[in-house]
Amino acid sequence: MADKDYYEILGVSRDASEDEIRKAYRKMSKKYHPDINHEPGAEEKFKQINEAYSVLSDKQKKAAYDQYGSADGPQGFGGGAGGQTYSGFDGGGFGGFDDIFSSFFGGGAQGAATQARQRRGADLQYRMDLKFEEAVFGKSENISYNRQGRCHVCNGTGAKNGAQPQTCSKCHGAGFITVTRQTMLGTMQSRETCDVCGGTGKEIKDKCTNCRGTGVEQERHSIDVKVPAGVDDGQQMRLDGAGDAGQNGAAFGDLYVVFRVQPSKKYVRDGADILMNLDISFAQAALGDEVKADTVHGPVQLKVPAGTQTETKIRLRGKGAPRLNGGGTGDEIVTVKIRTPKKLNQKQRDALMAYAAASGDKVKPHESNLFDKFRDAFNK
Binding-site residue ranges: 151, 154, 168, 171, 194, 197, 208, 211
Task: Give, in order, the Cα–Cα distances in Å from 15 to each of 8, 53, 62, 73.
Answer: 12, 15, 12, 20
pLDDT one-digit tens code per residue, 136-149: 999 999 999 999 99
The helix (H) or strand (E) run that includes residue 102 is helix 97-105
Looking at the DSSP bridge assignments, the partners of residue 150 are: 216
Other C-beta atoms closer than 10 Å to the C-beta of 338 total 17
- In this prediction, residue 196 carries a pLDDT of 83
Is the separation of the CB atoms in 96 and 85 below 8 Å? no
Mean pLDDT (the chain, rounded)? 82
Query: Rounded mean pLDDT of 12-41?
Result: 86
pLDDT > 80? residue 73: no
Residue from 316, 367, 309 nearest 338 by CA: 309
- In this prediction, residue 72 carries a pLDDT of 59
Binding-site residue ranges for Zn(2+): 151, 154, 168, 171, 194, 197, 208, 211
- In this prediction, residue 191 carries a pLDDT of 83
- pLDDT grade for 3, boundaries at 50, 70 and 90: low
Burial 102-134 (b: 16+ CB within 10 A, else e): bbeeeebbbebbbebbbbbbeebebebebebeb
Rounded CA gap, 340 and 280, in Å? 9
- In this prediction, residue 224 carries a pLDDT of 96
- In this prediction, residue 126 carries a pLDDT of 96
Task: Give, in order, the Cα–Cα distances in Å from 170 to each of 148, 177, 193, 202, 301.
Answer: 29, 8, 11, 10, 79
Domains of the chain: 6-107 (1.10.287.110), 124-261 (2.10.230.10), 268-339 (2.60.260.20), 346-379 (no CATH)
Task: Report which listed range, 112-126, 170-184, 227-241, is most confident.
Answer: 227-241
Query: What is the value of pTM for the model shown?
Result: 0.58
Strands of the sheet with 273-281, listed across from one edge: 268-270, 273-281, 332-339, 313-316
Q: Computed from CA positions of residues 166, 169, 170, 176, in that sequence, does the dihedral angle turn out positive or negative?
A: positive
